[in-house]
Amino acid sequence: MGKRDNKTGLVADWKSLEKVFIRPENDSGKQTLIKYMEQILFGLHDFLNTHVGVTEEISLKELTDDFRETRINQDPEKKLAQVITDIIDEIAPKAVNVASPYFVGHMTSAVPFFMVHLKTITAALNQNVIKLETSKVLSVIEKQVLAKVHRLIYGKDKGFYEEHVQHVESSLGAFTAGGTTANLTALRVARNTLFKPRNGFDGVEKHGMAAALKEYGADRVVVLVSRRAHFSIEKAWGILGAGSSNVIPVDVDEQHRVNIKKLNSMIKEIQKDGKTIIAAVVGIAGTTETGSVDPLKEMGEICRKHSIHFHVDAAWGGPVLLSDRYAHLLDGIAEADSVTIDCHKQFYMPMTSGMVFFRDPWAMDTVAYYSNYVNRRGSVDIGIKTLEGSREANSLILDSALKIMGARGYALMIDHGIDTAQKFASEIEKRQLFELAVPPRLNIVTYRIVPERLQKELENSDPGHRKRINEIVSGINKNVQRKQRERGKSFVSRTRLRIHQQDRQASVVLRTVVMNPMTDIHILKEILDEQEGIFKELCCD
């Protein structure tokens, strides 16, 4: 099996095995374990602090050169101390410093340091919340935390939560591996509720999509969602056997929010053909690319009227509900039949944890599975209705974080992100070289570099010429983004958006996510300065 020979002199024997399983009783042994933690916390800490830029400049070729060995060594290669040292010295500098306030390109950021402690606790307890027998109180905490966030979203009355918070058989939601499996769970519930058992047909989960469409007299079943949707919606529909091409994009307005008129006319048209069923309409609270929030209230009303499942993907925006100042931006979210929120995004938890919620505490009954050895009928095992099987107790981290931060602590971060995004948008509008793509609604800002000469050409051109100019501008922005990333001082990302209604094609824009509370307007100005500098170099070289 191609294992390698011993070169280190380390051997695997029963004595060393016992050592790693039986924690030390004596002080010196304990001190060693603590010393390792110190190394981890402050070795990495030094990297995170001194390494101001986001990553070392290094080519993919160079990066992979040291990671080509594919044999597993027979004997131990390193002790823990050496592993930690190597990670600090060799790995961390080649990782991405997502904690840097100059890292504003993606929805990954610094986490409060206590999150690392909480993750350590979860690992040390190593509970498996698939079933009560391997989690006990952690299953109970999971149900409680889900009820807390459910209440934040839906605000049902006290009696509702008293009934369901620890109800053995109902489910207010579930923790998931992330936003993708949360969306997948929501759409699976929508699919299974739509094609539920009737007249000897046992339902789509049991008999499959082909049998379900036959039973319900349809050719296909579709989901309607904004053109700005995360690709996990399409992926989920593809996984569910309904076909990713049956996710129908709805046009958006200039704010990149679902166009309600279009949505209405699409529903009307689809319902006319008689052979297509709409399984769900998905609204987005915080699109990945622009941070836009769909008109949730109107969408909810439309869905109610037509009895269509309304899912809200609030993977990004959900925690905005904790802010008294900005919760109103998500008005209408309580109309949703299901809601996705990610913990590793604006709940600032370490990778990865998602959640999905259902207005109806019995909705998840449509996705239940039982077995003889766990998840028996009538048991309180949470794993009965989750898509994932074994799962760590991430609820303990969220529960603790809510206690340490309070709603107000989270609100400070939410408010800072939105306020700073506004300031950043103003700054962009002030600068000659830049064009704001979408006025920010939450804390995501999209913009692009458009040199003055090309700006003028764009203003006075026919569509064909505009297209050519936009392609040149796209090339410029792509190059500046790449160059900035390679320099490793700061990082913004890029995507493609249709910025002007008169253009048919999408153009490259720069994308900034303001979630790190240490990212302030001064840092964002520096980032613009750097982009101006790079642009000048590129255009004059």
Query: Binders of its own copies among 411-470, rule CB under 8 A?
Result: 411-413
In the complex, least distance from residue 48 CB atom to its own copies, rounded to whole angstroms? 7
Q: Quick check: 280 and 338 in contact, CB under 8 A?
A: no
Q: Give CA–CA dist 27/448, Å, rounded.
A: 59
276 contact partners, CB below 8 Å, separation of at least 6: 218, 219, 220, 221, 222, 270
Nearest of 62, 109, 111, 71 to residue 90 by alpha carbon: 62
Asked if residue 148 binds its own copies (CB under 8 A), the reply is yes
In the complex, least distance from residue 516 CB atom to its own copies, rounded to whole angstroms? 8
For the chain, what is the largest distance between any 2 Cα atoms, rounded to a whole number of angstroms? 80
Pairing of strands 220-226, 247-250: parallel
Member of 196, 220, 297, 467 binding its own copies (CB under 8 A): 220
Asked if residue 242 binds its own copies (CB under 8 A), the reply is yes
Alpha-carbon torsion 259, 260, 261, 262, what sign?
Answer: positive
In the complex, least distance from residue 489 CB atom to its own copies, rounded to whole angstroms? 15
Q: Quick check: 411 and 324 in contact, CB under 8 A?
A: yes
3-state secondary structure of 438: strand
Member of 102, 104, 119, 474 binding its own copies (CB under 8 A): 119
Q: Of the two residues 122 and 259, which places its CB atom closer to its own copies in the complex?
A: 122
Stretch that binds its own copies, among 199-207, 418-426, 433-441, 530-538 (CB under 8 A): 199-207
Member of 52, 63, 472, 539 binding its own copies (CB under 8 A): 63
In the complex, least distance from residue 535 CB atom to its own copies, rounded to whole angstroms? 21
Nearest of 223, 220, 217, 216 to residue 249 by alpha carbon: 223
Q: Quick check: 65 and 104 in contact, CB under 8 A?
A: no
Pairing of strands 247-250, 493-497: unpaired
Structure tokens at 475: 């090339």
In the complex, least distance from residue 274 CB atom to its own copies, rounded to whole angstroms? 16
Site of tokens 């939105």: 418
Nearest of 168, 202, 76, 145 to residue 343 by alpha carbon: 145
Stretch that binds its own copies, among 89-97, 250-258, 266-274, 530-538 (CB under 8 A): 89-97
Asked if residue 168 binds its own copies (CB under 8 A), the reply is yes
Q: Of the two residues 95 and 260, which places its CB atom closer to its own copies in the complex?
A: 95
Q: Of the two residues 259 and 516, which places its CB atom closer to its own copies in the complex?
A: 516
DSSP letters, 77-92, are: ---HHHHHHHIIIIIG
β-strand partners of 258: 252
Member of 53, 197, 350, 451 binding its own copies (CB under 8 A): 350
Stretch that binds its own copies, among 179-187, 253-261, 303-311, 466-474 (CB under 8 A): 179-187
Q: Give CA–CA dist 207/496, Å, rounded.
A: 40
Asked if residue 359 binds its own copies (CB under 8 A), the reply is no
Stretch that binds its own copies, among 153-161, 250-258, 268-276, 529-537 (CB under 8 A): 153-161
* DSSP category for residue 460: T
Stretch that binds its own copies, among 39-47, 258-266, 299-307, 520-528 (CB under 8 A): 39-47
Q: Of the two residues 216 and 431, which places its CB atom closer to its own copies in the complex?
A: 216
In the complex, least distance from residue 528 CB atom to its own copies, rounded to whole angstroms? 20
Member of 51, 85, 197, 211 binding its own copies (CB under 8 A): 211
Per-residue binder mask for its own copies (CB under 8 A), 310-349, x = binder: -----------xx----x--------------x-x-----
286 contact partners, CB below 8 Å, separation of at least 6: 292, 293, 314, 315, 316, 317, 318, 320, 442, 444
Q: Of the two residues 362 and 370, which places its CB atom closer to its own copies in the complex?
A: 370
Asked if residue 261 binds its own copies (CB under 8 A), the reply is no
Asked if residue 10 binds its own copies (CB under 8 A), the reply is yes
In the complex, least distance from residue 230 CB atom to its own copies, rounded to whole angstroms? 8
Asked if residue 245 binds its own copies (CB under 8 A), the reply is yes
Q: Of the two residues 44 and 339, which places its CB atom closer to its own copies in the complex?
A: 44
245 contact partners, CB below 8 Å, separation of at least 6: none
Nearest of 375, 367, 382, 372 to residue 129 by alpha carbon: 382
Structure tokens at 304: 């109610």
In the complex, least distance from residue 40 CB atom to its own copies, rounded to whole angstroms? 5
In the complex, least distance from residue 261 CB atom to its own copies, rounded to whole angstroms? 25
Member of 121, 251, 426, 465 binding its own copies (CB under 8 A): 121
In the complex, least distance from residue 77 CB atom to its own copies, rounded to whole angstroms? 4
Sheet of strand 309-313: strand arrangement: 173-176, 354-358, 338-342, 309-313, 276-284, 220-226, 247-250
Side chain identity at residue 251, one-letter code: D
Q: Give CA–CA dist 196/362, Å, rounded.
A: 13
